[in-house]
Amino acid sequence: MAMGWMTALKLVPWGDVIEAAPQIAQAAGKLLRRPGKAPQAIATPAPGASAQEQLDALRQQLARLEEEQRASAALIESMAGQQAQLVAAVGALRTGALRLAWACAVLLACVVVLAVARWI
């Protein structure tokens, strides 16, 4: 089993992981802070404010929500890209493990043949 882990660790693109680490940490921090963040109340101007002031306040809030949505979409896109890299790495590991299993089977067959040849 130790050999499998060593092979797995060798196949991980560590340069990409280290390069993306600050972004991952920042995104994780944002995700952790979001649930604890108190929901913002709808911006309502003081009583007696004109309809235009109320409309402006709502437009500002809408712009803020759109910006948060864009940031969330960018974060999700980044995480999807990282997951695609992980899936590719796991696929490479699976292929390597299959090749290793075949090589072990061939080696075992060779050992058996040599042992039988030696004892005959």
Question: pLDDT digit string (tens) for 32-59?
Answer: 676 545 555 555 556 777 888 888 989 9
pLDDT at position 40 is 58
Q: What value does the mean pLDDT take over residues 91-115?
A: 94
Compute the distance between CA of residue 75 and CA of residue 77 in angstroms, rounded to an integer. 5
- Model's pTM, two decimal places? 0.49
pLDDT band (50, 70, 90) for residue 4: low
